[in-house]
């Protein structure tokens, strides 16, 4: 049987904990060692795990490995998606690309910038909303700062419509929706309206960086 507590990267074997033949007892410090190494492979040698991010990482890791104790402690529902919020440059997108590597046996999501989806809508129209709203597993990157869509002279709040469709999808299938955003709850409601904001509460576990988190791109 394949041992899910071991992962090979770049010819090096990393241990994430202990496997008893049925389940993995994960070891958070070992997970951080692996994430640091995998992050450097994905994003370059400037990538590093910051001490100030360890609580955020513990919550994110608990979600991905479905740790029942920590999920309960942090009020995380593993059946819902993730909305990772925080200021520009704090590392949201990188972490949402990195963390699924902890659980290679689970279905991966596709990270899609919201502005790219709106540009597709401007060319292709409402089929774009169907493509992203009615199937697949996605992480919508930078929710709330995308422009309004416009197709044949008619404006459309594209991501808002997609989120409403994703909510209906969530009610009837196990398909999750994930996202990142720089905006707070009030700003999201101003962008999309109270109805979409309400649906987002049902779709997502909110995990937030401190608003004073530094820009790691400097």
What is the per-residue pLDDT across 149-179, written as a single tens digit (0 to 9) for each? 999 999 999 999 999 999 999 999 999 999 9
**Bridge partners for 85 per DSSP:** 181, 208
pLDDT at 202 over 60: yes
CA distances from 95 to 15, 36, 114 (A): 20, 11, 17
Asked if residue 178 belongs to a domain, the reply is: yes
Q: Tell me, what's the pLDDT at 92?
A: 97
The answer to whether 13 touches 43, Cβ cutoff 8 Å, is no
Instruction: Determine, yes or no, domain membership for 126.
Output: yes
Q: What share of the chain is helix, strand, coil (3-state, %, to 5)?
A: 45, 20, 35
Residues paired with residue 19 on neighbouring β-strands, in sequence order: 24
pLDDT at 187 over 70: yes
CATH code (residue 125) = 3.40.50.300
pLDDT, one tens digit per residue, over 80-132 is: 999 999 999 999 999 999 999 999 988 999 999 999 999 999 999 999 999 99
Write down the residue that tokens 């041992």 correspond to.
3
> Is residue 211's pLDDT more than 80?
yes
Strand partners, 6: 15
Does residue 69 form part of some domain? no
Residue 92 near residue 85 (C-beta atoms within 8 A): yes
Q: What is the pLDDT of residue 218?
A: 63
Residue, of 32 and 4, whose pLDDT is higher: 32
Distances, alpha carbon 66 to alpha carbons 13, 60, 98, 103, 167, in Å:
23, 10, 16, 10, 22
Confirm whether 93 is domain-assigned.
yes
In a domain, 142, yes or no: yes
Mean pLDDT across the chain, nearest whole number? Answer: 95
Q: Domain range holding 138?
A: 79-208
pLDDT at residue 6, rounded to an integer: 94
The answer to whether 26 and 103 have CB atoms below 8 angstroms apart is no
Cα 16–106–74 angle (5° rounding)? 65
Q: Kindly report, residue by residue over 22-46, the tens digit of the pLDDT.
A: 889 999 999 999 999 999 999 999 9
49 falls within a domain: no
Asked if residue 29 is part of any domain, the answer here is no
Contact 160, 192 (CB under 8 A): yes
pLDDT, residue 169, reads 97
pTM, to two decimals: 0.94
pLDDT for residue 1 is more than 60: no
Q: Residue 91 falls within a domain, yes or no?
A: yes
pLDDT score recorded for residue 181: 98
Nearest partner of 34 among 1, 55, 10, judged by Cα: 10
Helix H or strand E encompassing 14: strand 12-15
Number of domains the chain is built from: 1
User: For the residues 49-64, what does the mean pLDDT come to?
Assistant: 96
Average pLDDT over every residue of 182-197: 96
Residue 217, pLDDT above cutoff 90:
no
Question: Following DSSP, what letter does each residue of 27-66 receive, concatenated?
Answer: -HHHHHHHHHHHHHHHH-TT----GGGHHHHHHHHHHHHT
Place of tokens 């992050």: 39
């Amino acid at each position: 049987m394949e041992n899910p507590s071991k992962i090979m990267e770049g010819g090096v074997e990393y241990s994430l904990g202990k496997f008893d033949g049925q389940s993995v007892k994960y070891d958070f410090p070992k997970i951080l060692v692996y994430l640091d190494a995998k992050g450097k492979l994905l994003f370059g040698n400037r990538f590093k795990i910051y001490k100030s991010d360890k609580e955020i990482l513990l919550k994110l890791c608990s979600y991905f490995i479905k740790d029942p104790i920590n999920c309960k402690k942090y009020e995380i529902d593993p059946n819902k998606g993730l909305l990772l919020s925080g200021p520009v440059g704090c590392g949201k997108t990188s972490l949402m690309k990195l963390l699924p590597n902890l659980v290679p046996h689970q279905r991966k999501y596709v990270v899609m910038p919201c502005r790219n989806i709106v540009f597709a809508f401007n060319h292709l129209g409402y089929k774009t909303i169907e493509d992203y709203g009615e199937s697949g597993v996605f992480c919508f990157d930078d929710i709330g700062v995308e422009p309004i869509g416009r197709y044949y002279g008619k404006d459309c709040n594209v991501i808002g419509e997609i989120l409403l469709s994703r909510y209906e999808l969530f009610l009837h299938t196990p398909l999750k929706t994930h996202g990142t955003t720089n905006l707070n709850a009030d700003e999201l409601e101003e962008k999309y309206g109270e109805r979409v904001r309400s649906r987002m509460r049902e779709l997502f576990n909110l995990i937030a960086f401190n608003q004073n988190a530094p820009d790691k791109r400097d």
